[in-house]
């Protein structure tokens, strides 16, 4: 069955976000938050599965990714602002509580929402990025994660990072995806990130990170975490410690042989996990 899909502009304070709303009009709402350096499009295949299960999807291009939500300066991308964006969108849509899904940086925002605003979430499904305290432990104590995180230094260096990612037709940008995401999709991500100020805004998420990310408290929302064994950026140590920071019902799903780009590479697996989590609430 084909469902209507519309992309609308939703103002939150001084910013305006592009939000794609699709699926059965009376379906249970699910908000999906994308990661770096993707866009709302990363969830397209997952969303199609969710629509077939009777769920309605709300997928924003987040701060820095929506052209009219691209403020200047690193401080504008602190985690508190990213949390407030999601809460503001829920308010604007008059949604009291939501099933939340996040991948990569979208999952990081989700972990903070689940820990700080559990009353707004019915369930949480995190893809790739573990609880920040689990990642923080691994970044300090696990040599494997330290090696996987070396790209952080580049991303946090203004100008050098932008030049490195976009030079030679974006070859370094494309290499991050390998052959796990269709080239035409990567082309669209690259085109969006090549618009003036877009890549700097996206990289400011990394530059606004502080050490207290690892101090995030436990999550009391029913949670599923998916980690893939061939994730080039996030290792096993953080994945296995993730459940230590969830006091509610928790599932760890390990996807053998898949890369970091699970929403694009294994949308059926991701959708099934989301549906199972929602079905148990």
Tokens 């604007």 belong to residue: 92
Neighbours of 80 (CB within 10 A): 10
Q: How far is CA 152 from the centre of its chain?
A: 17
Active site residue 104: yes
What is the per-residue DSSP string for 95-154? -SSEEEEEETHHHHHHHHHHHH-GGGEEEEEEES---HHHHHHHHHH-HHHHHHTTHHHH
Active site residue 260: yes
Tokens 């991308």 belong to residue: 77
Question: Which residues on neighbouring strands pair with residue 28, listed in sequence order?
Answer: 55
Active site residue 225: no
b/e per residue, 209-238, with b = 16+ CB within 10 A? beeebbebeebebbbbbbbbeebebbbebb
What is the per-residue DSSP string for 161-206? HHHHHHHHHHHHHHHHHTTSS-HHHHHHHHHHHTSTTHHHHHHHHH
Q: Which of 65, 77, 103, 104 is flagged as catalytic?
A: 104
Q: Which of 65, 206, 225, 250 is flagged as catalytic?
A: 206
Distance CA 224, CA 248 (A): 10
Query: How many CA atoms within 13 Å lie on the side-chain side of 169?
Result: 2
Q: E strand or H helix at 50, and its extent?
A: helix 44-52
List, by residue number, the catalytic residues.
Answer: 104, 206, 260
């Amino acid at each position: 069955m084909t469902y209507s899909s519309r992309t609308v502009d939703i103002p939150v304070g001084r910013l305006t976000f592009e939000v794609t709303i699709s699926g059965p009009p009376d379906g249970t709402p699910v908000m999906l938050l994308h990661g770096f350096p993707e866009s709302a499009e990363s969830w397209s295949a997952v969303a199609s599965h969710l629509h077939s299960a009777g769920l309605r999807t709300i997928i924003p291009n987040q701060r820095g990714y929506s052209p009219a939500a691209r403020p200047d300066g690193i401080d504008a991308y602190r985690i508190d602002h990213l949390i407030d964006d999601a809460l503001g969108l829920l308010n604007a849509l008059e949604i009291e509580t939501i099933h939340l899904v996040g991948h990569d940086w979208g999952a990081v925002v989700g972990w903070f929402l689940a820990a700080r605003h559990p009353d707004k979430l019915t369930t949480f499904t995190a893809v790739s990025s573990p609880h920040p305290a689990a990642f923080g432990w691994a970044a300090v104590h696990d040599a494997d994660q330290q090696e996987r995180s070396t790209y952080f230094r580049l991303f946090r260096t203004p100008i050098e990072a932008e030049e490195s990612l976009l030079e030679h037709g974006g070859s370094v940008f494309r290499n991050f995806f390998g052959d796990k995401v269709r080239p035409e999709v990567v082309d669209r991500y690259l085109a969006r990130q090549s618009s003036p100020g877009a890549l700097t805004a996206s990289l400011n998420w990394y530059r606004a990170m502080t050490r207290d990310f690892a101090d995030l408290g436990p999550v009391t929302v029913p949670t599923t975490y998916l980690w893939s064994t061939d994730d080039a950026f996030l290792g096993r140590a953080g994945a296995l410690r993730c459940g230590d920071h969830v006091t509610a019902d928790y599932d760890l799903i390990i996807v053998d042989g898949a890369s970091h780009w699970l929403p694009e590479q294994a949308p059926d697996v991701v959708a099934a996990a989301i549906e199972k989590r929602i079905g148990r609430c």
